Structure 1
Amino acid sequence: MAALNVNGTPLECCCTKPMTGFFRDGFCRTAEEDQGYHLVCAIVTRQFLEFSRRRGNDLITPRPELRFPGLKPGDRWCLHILRWREAYEAGVAPPNELWIT
């Protein structure tokens, strides 16, 4: 069965450069193993990236050993749904589309 978004239409790719998603296939979809529920496709902002780093999740620093180039403002990334909510409550949530299976 194809993954669907909240509108019931086929899930669209969030980003492949950099490659994102729990399955690192570009789609914000999940599975039981994904304890973070990476379902929010967001366009990250400087404010969000700094917020996330302060919360212990540094998405800015490249991690070549994980094939992670680091994010910069304007990149699209699948976010943990609760982290997006935290950022929203702090007034720094990045623009998004909620895509779920």
Structure 2
Amino acid sequence: MLTTWTDDECKLILENCWKALPAGGKLIACEPVLPKESDDSHRTRTLLEGDIFVMTIYRAKGKHRTEEEFKQLGLSAGFPHFRAFHVHVDDFFTVLEFQK
């Protein structure tokens, strides 16, 4: 889970994945993704509580990120294409696709 790592560590992980993939290859990750703006929905409250949990357990090393933050991490690691799929299997996780 990228959630348990700092931005620099995530970038390194993503760079290593990018190097291992063939041209056009994809990295799929399932991560909790924070909404752009906070609201009173059950999903947002659950994600924010999860973010506090991650920061507590991993001593502020990890964090939940927004879709844009994941996109920027992917771009910084060399992935020019990014998509997020908000599937209705679980309110907590979003499927992220990074393509080389």
Normalising by structure 2, we get a TM-score of 0.29
Q: Kindly indicate which of the two structures has a greater share of residues assigned to strand.
A: 2
Q: Kindly indicate which of the two structures has a greater share of residues assigned to helix.
A: 2
Which of the pair has the greater relative contact order for Cα pairs under 8 Å at 6+ separation? 2
Normalising by structure 1, we get a TM-score of 0.29
Structure number with larger C-alpha Rg: 2
